[in-house]
Amino acid sequence: MRIHSSNHPWFLLAILVVLLSFSGALSSTHKEKTTSKNPKKEVTYDGTSLIINGKRELLYSGSIHYPRSTPDMWPKVIKRAKQGGLNTIQTYVFWNIHEPVQGKFNFSGRADLVKFIKLIEKNGMYVTLRPGPFIQAEWNHGGLPYWLREVPGIFFRTDNKPFKEHTERYVKVILDKMKQEKLFASQGGPIILGQIENEYSAVERAYNEDGVNYIKWAAKLVDSMNLGIPWVMCKQNNAPDPMINACNGRHCGDTFPGPNKKNKPSLWTENWTTQFRVFGDPPAHRSVEDIAYSVARFFSKNGSHVNYYMYHGGTNFGRTSAHYVTTRYYDDAPLDEFGLEREPKYGHLKLLHNTLNLCKKALLWGHSRTEKPGKDTEIRYYEQPGTKVCAAFLANNNTEAAETIKFKGKEYVIPPRSISILPDCKTVVYSTAEVISQHTSRNYVKSKKANKKFDFKVFTETVPSELKGESFIPVELYGLTEDVTDYGWYTTNFKTDDNDLKKKGGKTTLRIASLGHALHVWLNGEYLGNGHGSHEEKSFVFQKQVSLKEGENHLTMLGVLTGFPDSGSYLEHRYTGPRSVSILGLSSGPLDLTEKNKWGNKVGMEGEKLGIHAEKGLKKVKWQKFSAKAPGLTWYQTRFDAPESKSSVAIRMNGMGKGLIWVNGEGVGRYWMSFLSPLKNPTQVEYHIPRSFLKPKKNLLVIFEEEPNVKPELIDFVIINRDTVCSYIGENYTPSVRHWTKKNDKVQAITDDVFLTANLKCSGTKKIAAVEFASFGNPNGTCGNFTLGSCNAPASKQVIEKYCLGKSECDIPVNKSTFQQDKKDSCPKVVKMLAVQVKCGRTKKNKESGI
């Protein structure tokens, strides 16, 4: 019903009161917004990007997992990530560290998720939170707590009532905690994006319709909480609305089919910076040129968010790694295991982020166009109609030869398999293939302070010959250990008589088929040896000729885990441990011990139960002085002083076999020196000991060693640095994007004269103490291993010393006039490369202060 206000004066008065009240409310709201420390941020999206407070954003994100480093490391690692050009940190939430015992939550120490997120916020960065429930991540059991396996009737990650009930309870605990701490962007916090589930498409088919229903349920669960942020599902092209389907992989610019709705942005949740390592692997490396190419291509094809998995991998402390996964995690990331900048990966990507920021307006508001001038070449560019805003990506997919591309009347030479970026469609400021960032080589310096003669003491476990048990088959190892230890004992007895042993010319063989991971075997008290599987081939057969005695024989096996599995369907029904045991070569025929004998069991080591890895339990056993040799299953303990300086510390496990390390009761991780790679070397030698684990003097080192006759005297402590700094630049490379800025939609040079330079910079307060190699010509090798080629400017080293010696940072012009001072070129047809290697060091004052 329409009311005519002219006939009702009281109505006008009421309107006036309402307007005055509304005006006051607006004033109050405005005041609140301008004085609030953390104004609320609305996060929405469209087909171009995420929109934060009405503003489109290009997001450069890096995965850093809080339990894989220590709280004292977090500030430096986060700060370096920001300095590397990132504006977002992505992390999983690890269910099994937060709720290791059902109903008892832990958010302290390395599990202090709130502290970690607030540090990110303090650095002015955003957060992507991935609460699981399943995370994979090469983490024990994919992040799922062991007790979940014991829930009656449970099936993981499917339309299963028990699993959904526990998942909902857990997810709500985590997200409610974030809400209570006001960490969501809608509350003024840094969390702008969430992810539920993880790469579910890899297992969805195994669950048929229940899988489809589960993923819909998971989406509804987080959407119904109304947290004010968008949610993604990675590697889930059928992600139900309003979930955004996102890409994981190395080349999402080519493999991602795109968002499943036009109103969703193209997001890349995992760009794998290297390959994670498992014991038995050779070294793994992904070049920064390849990573930069993949990122440039993704952004050139409407991408607006990339996350580097990992940006800092860190350490799988204690027993947290998944089966066979090394203690060191993603060490080849831009920030290495110790949080140090791995160059040139760190620097080359930083320059890429700077370059993409120069293209930001064109990428977020321009119209895209594509041209194919040749079979292997492609031009993608963005223009904003009616303006001079333009950015171009010139791609050469020829892996062997450079290609010339003509664009807007100008010719550009593009190196093999690379993308050149032109933020104004005219000026090349970055090439993915031309690395002008410095290189570094990691050094392990033996500590003088920590490596005094070690006084090792030992305690050896007793090998049981007969344990209680009623099982007629060896008990499954995951269920036996319940994830409280890596070790489970099995014993059985069997009889042989004189007739069994009289087979002429026959050889009696013990054969054990195991589903993994490793196994030690004793017969009648004699150690027969060990066997193990691998990450790819978990099952293995232990087989050895044996001598049986007439009467009762005692067989003892020690099943060994290297972590729980972290991937695949029906994870709750995955089994491991010895499955078939038989004696071959008897006169009476094969003797099957698997299902006819009673098996006794015992969980873990006596030393574990007594806690002898820490000070409190140390005196609960009688330690003996170590003298040259010890059997397997021996505990070793000694004391050492903290290494000098404030640099990162590691222990080198040379001389050892396989086991676990503790320092002052803190679990350093699993080591496995005897599992050699195809290159005949251990996959990992150095094991990170965070400084927060150490005290100045008399630190307790405890090692549990599985194998006999190891040599602990070969162990040593090392200090880690990246003081070997190099440059390797071609004279025809594109000058650094550092020389350029954008003003009034125009790319402008910051300096009057833009030219190519090699930049060398020492970390902290260190200065360039020596020039170890310099050559302008055609040198060979890599940082730490350069050699002269057939062409070299004689003055190369002298020039570098003039520009750099005694300085913390220097810039060297890369051109002929700098190095060929006599204007003679002994190899005019060679395109010159500059290779430089310098050593950084501390001044006497800084050495004394330990800076």
| Three-state DSSP class for residue 722 | strand
Measured in whole angstroms, how far is the alpha carbon of residue 768 from the centre of its chain?
A: 31
Query: Residue 581 corresponds to which tokens in the numbers above?
Result: 């045991």
Give yes or no: 536 in active site: no
Rounded-to-integer distance, Cα 420 and Cα 379, Å:
10
Which candidate in 99, 121, 197, 199 is catalytic?
199
DSSP characters over 121-176:
HHTT-EEEEEEES---TTBGGGG--GGGGGSTT--TTSS-HHHHHHHHHHHHHHHH
Query: Residue 109 corresponds to which tokens in the numbers above?
Result: 């120490």
Contact 791, 820 (CB under 8 A): no
Sheet holding 430-431, edge to edge: 367-371, 377-383, 390-396, 418-422, 430-431
Range 780-796 burial, b when 16+ CB lie within 10 A, else e: ebebeebebbebbbebb
Helix, strand and coil content of the chain, in percent to the nearest 5, comes to 25, 30, 45
For residue 107, count CB atoms less than 10 angstroms from its CB and return exposed for 0-12, middle for 13-18, buried for 19 or more.
middle
Which candidate in 270, 337, 343, 666 is catalytic?
270
Residue of 851, 850, 815 whose CA lies nearest to 834: 815
Rounded-to-integer distance, Cα 105 and Cα 142, Å:
18
Contact 126, 192 (CB under 8 A): yes
Contact 225, 187 (CB under 8 A): no
Q: What are phi and psi of 129, to 5 degrees?
A: -105, 130
DSSP characters over 236-298:
-TTPPTTPEEEEEES-HHHH----SSTTS-EEEEEEESS---BTT-------HHHHHHHHHHH
| Three-state DSSP class for residue 206 | helix
Query: Residue 741 corresponds to which tokens in the numbers above?
Result: 């800025």
> Which amino acid belongs to residue 284?
A
Contact 192, 229 (CB under 8 A): yes
Contact 530, 506 (CB under 8 A): no
Give yes or no: 270 in active site: yes
Hey, which residues are catalytic here? 199, 270
